[in-house]
Amino acid sequence: MPSLTSMIFGRTYWLPAVLAVLLSFTAVPARAQTQLVVLELFTSQGCNSCPPADALMSEWLKQPGVLPISLHVDYWDYLGWKDTLSRKGHNVRQKDYARGIGNRQIYTPQVVVDGQFQAVGSNREAIEMALAKARKQQHVPLRVERTKNKGWQVVVPEMPNWQGEAKLLLCRYDRKHDVTIERGENHGRTLSYLNVARAWNDFGRWKGEAGRYDVPDLEATDWNRQGAVVMLQMLKDNSNGPIIGAIDLKP
CA 171 to CA 91: how far, in whole Å? 15
Does any domain span residue 71?
yes
Residue 14 has pLDDT above 60, yes or no: no
Does any domain span residue 216?
yes
pLDDT value of residue 214: 95
pLDDT value of residue 237: 81
Which amino acid, one-letter code, is at 101?
I
Structural domain including 167 reads 7-15+32-249
Among 106-120, 148-162, 172-186, which stretch is predicted with the lowest mean pLDDT?
148-162
Nearest-CA neighbor of 37 among 226, 227, 234, 247? 247
Residue ranges with strand state E in the chain: 7-8, 11-12, 37-43, 66-72, 110-113, 117-120, 143-146, 152-156, 165-180, 190-206, 211-214, 226-236, 239-249
Does any domain span residue 199?
yes
Share of the chain above pLDDT 70, in %: 86
Among 17-26, 201-210, 211-220, 229-238, which stretch is predicted with the lowest mean pLDDT?
17-26
Residue 72 has pLDDT above 60, yes or no: yes
Per-residue DSSP letter, 78: G
Does any domain span residue 25?
no
Number of helices and strands in the chain (H, E)? 3, 13
Q: Higher-confidence residue: 1 or 181?
A: 181
pLDDT value of residue 34: 57
pLDDT tier at 150, thresholds 50, 70, 90: confident
Whole-model pTM? 0.86
Does any domain span residue 2?
no
Does any domain span residue 224?
yes
Does any domain span residue 21?
no
Does any domain span residue 24?
no
pLDDT value of residue 11: 34
Work out how many domains the chain is built from and give that number. Answer: 1
pLDDT value of residue 162: 86
